Amino acid sequence: MAGDTLTSSGYIKHHLTNLTFGKHPDGSWGIAQSAAEAKEMGFWAIHVDTMFWSIGLGILFLYFFSKTAKQATAGVPNGLQNFVEWLVDFIDESVRGSFSARNALVAPLALTIFVWIFLQNLMDLVPVDVIPELAKLLGIHYMKVVPSTDPNATFGMAIGVFILVLFYSIKIKGIGGFAGELTLQPFSSNNVLVNILFIPVNFILEFVSLIAKPISLALRLFGNMYAGEMIFILIAIMYNAGLILGLFGGVLQLGWAIFHILIITLQAFIFMTLTIVYLDMAHHEH
């Protein structure tokens, strides 16, 4: 696709296609050279750009926070230490307000989720053509820089939370207690035979509610970030096509970017808060 003149639809498809590594139809493994080829690689294909940016941002987060912790002083904090302390206090208050049990994992998990997702979302503020054009100079034709616009990333994080929910549900309530929650509510009776008849209905209702937790986490984050990225791309198309000119185009981009700061922060906060709430539910019987 290098060297071709892109139409508007081709431009959008190009910017929404991940750098994909997988198995080619001839049995060899390598990088897909087109969106159609990436799609044919199937389930075992890896989105290299999503992995690179998400892991890289995670390492960046760990580096700065660990560096701040090691250099923390009891005196007047520097700017970075002051920011980290404020963020830790904010997360701690959020956990105290939504999580009533005692679990030393929840606060660090909430901090990690919030900062990591925020950093991933923040990449959406990078001008849409800058990094892809730099990647082209290196011979890389596709490069998506916002991991949270890839459902593989959002579902990966949501499934991780879901596994923790299942783990603590069974650990706190036991297998019998967890199975009882799935089969003996919301409909119950003092009559044993009626309860047995209600088991399939209760299981269907509770199982749907259980499965909806990771799906809602993943799709909410993906949908909002994907829509935001699409708007940036559409503004870039209109600017390049001359439909919006000069200063107005810059103001439009800046206005949406400022508004988008609220969205990327809110989506990270919602994912974190729902994680805390789901884990709290796992620690208590209904």
Our measurement of the distance from residue 24's CA atom to the centroid of its chain's CA atoms, rounded to an integer in Å, reads 28
Are 164 and 237 spatial neighbours (Cβ–Cβ below 8 Å)? no
Q: Which residues of 183-219 are buried (b: 16+ CB within 10 A; e: fewer)?
A: bbeeeeeeeeeeeeebeeebeeebeeebeebbeebbb
Q: What percent of the chain has pLDDT over 90?
A: 50
Our measurement of the distance from residue 70's CA atom to the centroid of its chain's CA atoms, rounded to an integer in Å, reads 29
pLDDT at residue 3 in the model: 42
The catalytic residue among 34, 103, 195, 220 is 220
Query: Is 18 one of the annotated active-site residues of the chain?
Result: no
pLDDT at residue 14 in the model: 85
In the chain, domain spans: 8-282
Query: Is 216 one of the annotated active-site residues of the chain?
Result: yes
In three-state secondary structure terms, 16 is coil
> How confident is the model over 25-36, as a mean pLDDT?
88
Statement: residue 128 has pLDDT above 90: no
Statement: residue 248 has pLDDT above 50: yes
> How confident is the model over 3-12, as a mean pLDDT?
70
Among 78-82, 84-88, 102-106, which is the least confidently predicted range?
78-82
| Single pTM value for the model | 0.88
Statement: residue 150 has pLDDT above 80: yes
User: pLDDT tens digit string along 172-225?
Assistant: 999 998 998 888 888 777 777 877 888 899 899 999 999 999 999 999 999 999
- N- to C-terminal Cα separation, the chain: 56
Query: Is 82 one of the annotated active-site residues of the chain?
Result: no
User: Using CA of residue 90, residue 96, residue 97, residue 103, what is the dihedral sign?
Assistant: positive
User: pLDDT tens digit string along 40-83?
Assistant: 888 889 999 999 999 999 999 999 999 988 887 777 777 788 88
Statement: residue 1 has pLDDT above 50: no
d(C-alpha 129, C-alpha 126), whole Å: 8
List Cβ neighbours of 229 (8 Å cut-off, separation of 6 or more).
Answer: 15, 16, 124, 128, 146, 149
Statement: residue 95 has pLDDT above 90: yes
- Token readout for 282 is 């796992």
Statement: residue 33 has pLDDT above 80: yes
